[in-house]
Amino acid sequence: MNIEERIEHLRKLITYHSKRYYENDAPEISDFEYDKMFEELKALEEAHPEYYSPTSPTGRVGGRALDKFEKVKHEVKMASLTDVFSFDELRDFIRRVKNEVGEDTEFSVEPKIDGLSVSLKYENGALTVGATRGDGTVGEDVTANVKTIRSVPLTLNANASVTVRGEVYMPHKSFEKLNREKEENGESLWANPRNAAAGSLRCLDSKETAKRGLDIFVFNFQTGKTNAATHKETIDEIKNLGFKTIPLLYVGGNEDEIVNAVIKLGESRPTLDYDIDGTVIKVNSLEKRRELGEGTSTPKWAVAYKFPPEQKKTKLLDIEVQIGRTGVLTPNAVLEPVKLAGTVVSRATLHNIDIIKEKDIRIGDTVIVQKAGDIIPEVVGSVKEARTGDEQPYSMPSVCPSCGGALTYDDADDFLDDGEDFTLGALRCTNPSCPAQLERNITHFASKKAMNIEGVGGKLVKALLENQLISDPSDLYYLTKDDIARLDRMGEKSAQNFIASVEASKEMGLGRLIFALGIRHIGEVASSELASKFGSIDALFTATEDEIKEIGDFGDVMAKSVVDFFSRTETKYIVERLKNAGVKTSEEVKELSNEFEGLTFVLTGTLENMTRDEAAEMIKARGGKVSSSVSSKTSYVLAGEAAGSKLTKAQSLGVKIIDKEQFLEMCK
């Protein structure tokens, strides 16, 4: 066997065993044997580039990093679906379709995978383009990243030229592994597998994507030659080509059986290794689909039934108080662990004492929990009929549990909406030296949107405080490599990375520094506006409330908060040490243009090759305002991929919606 034959032989062997392992869950060889073959193939390909093949399994480890993603225009529009939220709405859809195209109409039922939609294009059996859905018409070329997904065939079982559509997702085991690694590195955790999948597929470095353990279900035939007359037949054809296809749970025309299939799928969610947020019901006949046609933005032959939040009963074991960086005490429910929407939940926020009283929640209660938006655990209420009499009402502490300092209730809302029940609002520790606040203040200071000191999360900050290496945020800039290296689970490499990240953070700029200092009522946007107006941290020490209120949207409360903060002795001390450490505390005051003056923008969804923060800065630099909520006063909604309820509200109010291209054109 010559070298070329050996390379081809190894490629076929690795492809076969990869499929057995990743798709069939039935490996025939050990990981050691597989890795040995893989390394041999890599070495042969590197030594003999003349035998390069774009479909080699070595391409799955990722290649060189990109500067940006190129755009791809889809041959067939990747449309979204109309959502239904009740079985009455689902039955109405079934009856409407049957009235229009015949009582003998059959439907398919399949899970709605909670991931990121992509198209996969093959020419003469070889994968040529993988692209994100984007706006449905134009997406991003993520071919290099798609190739790292083991269940995406690099070559088909036939010499076919086709385009298929699938959903890339992150299995629970991959998600848990990724978040475990992030936690160990002191990094922010992904909120849910869907966000993690979307972020992983859009990494500019495909080698990073290759580490994330993504997977895919293919569910639609987009273009190419087919003899199929039904959706089920297209799925069978796609499967025969070598794709991992979506499971069809039911195909038939009985209305009750369709509803029962949806119910069974909902009940099976806890047993799945991937997230689903609903069920897709489609007309099975391709001819009847053509007859029904398309709506303005969604097909008339399919709907997505969206599951209500999964609810479970569990025991409320205790209520513990968490102290935020601004001193607010938040009660948290300690729960008997329960599996909910794919993850184990053992804690949930109770927000404040008013919520606890309103829901009549007591320690020892059986409570109903759910995940708001399938993400954030929350206690819906107590099961009063399950009480034994041993349950204990809860009261907030009279002094701070961290420092023993005095507590006070904010002058927030004096009354609820009905104007009768008095609400206490937020309970706050008034001691600025409170250890619990200090830990969260320093963690906030180092966070990604503030000074962006990588690796400085809650665990590292706690260790630094316990070892008395820091007592305020400025101390981070005076730590040595040896200080970090001697901490538990920190070595030479981690210490070097920490020092490098601290050094880089010195150039983050005045706006980020102001935000990092954690001034009450002052967020990212307000911090940036303060930096733009005053130009230096020194100017803020002498700024008056009236001068600050000259900034649009700054009222009495925000202005007073800034003046109070910069009048403190500890603020002067920290800022002086930051300046001595070389942190940039001034910047040139920019002359702003005014073409967006009087306009209010709301940003929603993911913008291609641009963060929402960057878009917001462009708006503010032109005199416009950025709001977090849509109202009749909103001038424009800038909508990207996966835009949510803000887009829906804008449509209902008739607010003008623009995409990134239109926005950039306005900025010229």
Same domain, 193 and 242: yes
CA dihedral sign, ordered 190, 191, 193, 199: negative
Tokens at 583, concatenated: 């942190």
Residue type, 298: T
Say which DSSP state 189 is in: P
Specify the 3-state DSSP secondary structure of 480: coil
Tokens at 589, concatenated: 């005051």
Residue type, 397: P
Same domain, 148 and 275: yes
pLDDT, mean of residues 13-22: 76
pLDDT band at 414 (very low <50, low <70, confident <90, very high): very low
| Residue 428, φ and ψ in degrees, nearest 5 | -130, 140
The answer to whether the beta carbons of residues 164 and 120 sit under 8 Å apart is: yes
Same domain, 126 and 238: yes
Query: Over the stretch 168-196, which tens digit does the pLDDT of each residue have?
Result: 999 999 988 888 887 666 566 676 788 88
Percent of the chain with pLDDT over 70: 91
426 assigned to some structural domain: no
Distances (CA, A) of 369 to 65, 333, 334, 469, 559: 43, 10, 12, 40, 40
Domain that holds residue 43: 3-53
Does 112 participate in catalysis according to the annotation? yes
Say which DSSP state 307 is in: P
Torsion of CA 21, 24, 27, 28, to 10 degrees: -130
Residue where a domain terminates, one of 580, 613, 632: 580
221 assigned to some structural domain: yes
Antiparallel, parallel or unpaired: β 427-429 and 656-658: unpaired
Same domain, 629 and 504: no
The answer to whether the beta carbons of residues 292 and 282 sit under 8 Å apart is: no
Percent of the chain with pLDDT over 90: 44
Residue 334's pLDDT is what? Answer: 95
Same domain, 334 and 255: no
Same domain, 232 and 295: yes
DSSP string, 208-259: HHHTS--EEEEEEEEES----SBHHHHHHHHHHTT--BPPP-EEE--HHHHH
Same domain, 564 and 613: no
Mean pLDDT across the chain, nearest whole number?
86
Distances (CA, A) of 34 to 16, 109, 302, 309: 11, 38, 43, 42
Residue 525's pLDDT is what? Answer: 73
The domain total for the chain is 5
138 assigned to some structural domain: yes
Specify the 3-state DSSP secondary structure of 498: helix
Same domain, 133 and 230: yes
Distances (CA, A) of 246 to 110, 113, 279, 495, 497: 7, 9, 12, 46, 43
Given the residues 112, 244, 533, 660, select the one marked as catalytic.
112
Q: What is the pTM of this model?
A: 0.56
Residue from 356, 386, 343 nearest 179 by CA: 343
Same domain, 21 and 127: no
Cβ neighbours of residue 661 under 8 Å, at least 6 residues apart? none
Query: Over the stretch 247-306, which tens digit does the pLDDT of each residue have?
Result: 999 999 999 999 999 999 988 987 888 989 899 999 999 999 999 998 877 899 999 998
**434 or 248, which is more confident:** 248
Tokens at 563, concatenated: 């003046």
Residue from 504, 484, 513, 507 nearest 496 by CA: 484
Same domain, 86 and 174: yes
CA 291, CA 51: separation in Å to the nearest integer?
49
Same domain, 270 and 182: yes
**64 or 335, which is more confident:** 335
